[in-house]
Amino acid sequence: MSYAAIDSALDRWAEKHDLQLLKQNGNDEARFAYFSRGDFCCQISLDPPVGDTVAVHLWSIEVLEHEDFSHHWTVPTFEVSAALDAAFEQGCRWMTSHSTASGWRG
């Protein structure tokens, strides 16, 4: 299955959080976004849907304390927005507990 089944939900979610949703990684189709606070950065990425499910991944990127974080969800495609919100909220919690600087940058 292609990303087309979930693209409208992804676009609405990215707009809601004022994030740029990237749709290419080199020559490969992909879906991912970055968000950060201070020195802490996270990436949310999605695998292409398989059947009626989609995998959502949250990763810490370039953490100064060299402590990596990740969390993964596999949800029905109709729940992708809720899974993205959960991933974003989890990333924000990581940032709150590990960031030394304030202010968002995208």
The pLDDT score that the predictor gives to residue 61 is: 85
Q: Is the pLDDT of residue 47 over 80?
A: yes
Q: In this structure, are residues 100 and 36 in contact, taking their beta carbons and an 8 Å threshold?
A: no
pLDDT tens digit string along 60-92? 886 666 567 899 999 999 999 999 999 999 999
> CA-CA distance, 53 to 24, in Å (whole number)?
21
The pLDDT score that the predictor gives to residue 67 is: 67
* Tally of CB atoms within 10 A around 31: 22
The pLDDT score that the predictor gives to residue 95 is: 83
Q: In this structure, are residues 77 and 5 in contact, taking their beta carbons and an 8 Å threshold?
A: yes
- Spell out the domain ranges in the chain: 3-97
pLDDT band at 26 (very low <50, low <70, confident <90, very high): confident
Position with higher pLDDT, 27 vs 12: 12
80-93: b or e for each residue (b if 16 or more CB lie within 10 Å)? beebbebbbebbbe
pTM for this one?
0.85
